[in-house]
Amino acid sequence: MDSQYTNCQTMVNTLKNYLYKYKLARGLKEFEKTGTTTVGAYAALRQRFISTSGKSNDEISAAINQKVGKYDNVVAKGVLGNLSDKDLSAMVNAMKRDGYYIFDKLLPDNLVNDIYNYGLNIPCNYLDVNTNDYSVQEVLFDPNTPISPRYQFSNKAIVDLPAIQELLFDQSLLAFAQEYLGTKPILDLIAYWWSLPFNGKGKSAAAQMYHFDMDRIKFMKFFFYLTDVDTDTGPHCYVKGSHNTLPKSLSRDGRFTDEEIEATYGADNLIEICGKRGSIIAVDTRGFHKGKELVKDTRLIFQIEFANSMFGQTYPPTPIKFVNDDFRSIAHKYPHTYSQILIEHSQQKDQ
């Protein structure tokens, strides 16, 4: 009886996998025609990632790389330093091995101060731990009267800040993203948020439990610490090497406990990334990661994501006003990377 049940489950799983493969293939073709991803195609992307331990994404990425190719004129100079081809290769190879890379360079103090101070003076939405949704109401962040473990700023509130644009159009970041992704990267997402202690409430919704991201086919993120971060103030935690393949023991969508992750990977591979304000980290969040729950003080982070395709999760576009002609020139020089921004800027100009 048990063997019959097992055989039946195997058949059901096989049929489901064929269905997900078909839906994903059809969704990719539709995306090529329309530039939009259906809900079913996005769900199929996630399910195929799980059922193939990541191989499906790798195969699609290889096809994208061959079709799109790379820029041959990126000058890798900016907040990461003036990088030679050898420097860039060494950094990217380390990230391909581990899934993350901690840069030696810190953001300049003026950028850190500008972005940090901005976060104290503009209203933001907060995570409602009762509903696990973000509030419609916006409030000023006040660490003395906490109402949430996480306060998130809207993109439209931050994208026109000169210090933010300096990072968005930084060519050293662009060069690193291109080498890691293997193709012309697309700047597809930015995020900016405060975290603080909240007695264990809202941990899952605040991304303080281990999980993997799967918004796109292949992607990577730069995290910028805008406060000092130690083991008690919410370091980014990453499972070393977990970006390469998804183990069968963890082949499901959702959140995972520390015990589940440690049982599969071992304690030695659970990395806490601490650092001074201004620290810059590159992370492939296809690997398991979380923000560690804070036990004191506050943490402020800015994040930029680059992807190899816009296929996947749908985010509302963010219009941008270029603060100077240099940034506008960079956006036009690398139209594939800044396609979302250029489209929105053009629409805004015409209105």
Residue 244 sits in a domain whose CATH number is 2.60.120.620
- pLDDT(8) > 70: no
- Residue 18 pLDDT class (50, 70, 90 cuts): confident
Question: What confidence score (pLDDT) does residue 350 get?
Answer: 36
190 phi/psi in degrees, rounded to 5: -130, 155
Question: What confidence score (pLDDT) does residue 344 get?
Answer: 46
28 phi/psi in degrees, rounded to 5: -65, -40
- Looking at the fold, whether 94 and 44 belong to one and the same domain comes out as no
- Looking at the fold, whether 2 and 131 belong to one and the same domain comes out as no
Residue 317 CA to residue 337 CA, distance in Å, equals 15
Residue 66 lies in a domain: no
Please check whether residue 27 is in contact with residue 19, taking contact to mean a CB–CB distance below 8 angstroms: no
Question: CA dihedral in degrees (245, 246, 249, 252; nearest 10)?
Answer: -170
- pLDDT(127) > 90: yes
- pLDDT(346) > 60: no
Number of domains in the chain: 2
- Looking at the fold, whether 28 and 151 belong to one and the same domain comes out as no
The packing angle between helices 339-350 and 325-333, to 10°, is 120
pLDDT averaged over every residue in the chain: 92
100-106 vs 81-82, strand pairing mode: unpaired
Residue 234 CA to residue 203 CA, distance in Å, equals 12
Residue 169 CA to residue 108 CA, distance in Å, equals 16
- Looking at the fold, whether 26 and 137 belong to one and the same domain comes out as no
The pLDDT of 5-14, averaged and rounded, is: 58
Please check whether residue 288 is in contact with residue 240, taking contact to mean a CB–CB distance below 8 angstroms: no
- pLDDT(111) > 70: yes
Of 168 and 12, the structure prediction assigns the larger pLDDT to 168
- Looking at the fold, whether 174 and 311 belong to one and the same domain comes out as yes
Q: Which residues of 113-133 are buried (b: 16+ CB within 10 A; e: fewer)?
A: ebbbebbeebebbbbbbeeee
Within 8 A by CB and 6+ apart from 285, the residues are 212, 213, 219, 220, 221
- Residue 316 pLDDT class (50, 70, 90 cuts): confident
The pLDDT of 150-157, averaged and rounded, is: 93
- Looking at the fold, whether 91 and 234 belong to one and the same domain comes out as yes
Residue 16 lies in a domain: yes
Residue 204 lies in a domain: yes
- pLDDT(331) > 70: yes
Question: What confidence score (pLDDT) does residue 109 get?
Answer: 97
- Looking at the fold, whether 2 and 115 belong to one and the same domain comes out as no
Residue 123 CA to residue 119 CA, distance in Å, equals 8
The pLDDT of 182-201, averaged and rounded, is: 95
Tokens of 215: 């918004």
- pLDDT(12) > 60: no
Tokens of 139: 């409030």
Within 8 A by CB and 6+ apart from 215, the residues are 189, 305, 307, 312, 313
- Looking at the fold, whether 120 and 78 belong to one and the same domain comes out as yes
- Looking at the fold, whether 247 and 317 belong to one and the same domain comes out as yes
Residue 58 CA to residue 55 CA, distance in Å, equals 5
* Region at 171 (left for phi over 0; alpha for psi -120 to 50; beta for the rest): alpha
Question: What confidence score (pLDDT) does residue 349 get?
Answer: 43
Residue 247 CA to residue 270 CA, distance in Å, equals 16
Q: What is the pLDDT of residues 226-235, one digit of tens each?
A: 999 999 999 9
- pLDDT(178) > 90: yes
Residue 84 lies in a domain: yes
- pLDDT(184) > 50: yes
Name the residue with tokens 């499972």: 239
Residue 303 CA to residue 192 CA, distance in Å, equals 6
Question: What confidence score (pLDDT) does residue 15 get?
Answer: 72
Q: What is the CA radius of gyration of the chain?
A: 21
Residue 64 lies in a domain: no
- Looking at the fold, whether 24 and 89 belong to one and the same domain comes out as no
Within 8 A by CB and 6+ apart from 261, the residues are 210, 239, 250, 270, 288
Residue 59 lies in a domain: no
In this prediction the pTM is: 0.93
- The secondary structure element, H or E, covering residue 261 is helix 258-265
Question: What confidence score (pLDDT) does residue 16 get?
Answer: 76
Cα–Cα distances (Å) from 258 to 197, 265, 282, 287, in that order, read: 18, 11, 22, 14
- pLDDT(351) > 50: no
Of 230 and 340, the structure prediction assigns the larger pLDDT to 230
Q: 1: domain range?
A: 1-51
Residue 222 CA to residue 218 CA, distance in Å, equals 14
Residue 56 lies in a domain: no
Question: What confidence score (pLDDT) does residue 11 get?
Answer: 53
Half-sphere exposure of 118 (CA within 13 A, CB side): 22
Q: What is the pLDDT of residues 262-297, one digit of tens each?
A: 999 999 999 999 999 999 999 999 999 999 999 999
- Looking at the fold, whether 25 and 89 belong to one and the same domain comes out as no
- Looking at the fold, whether 35 and 123 belong to one and the same domain comes out as no
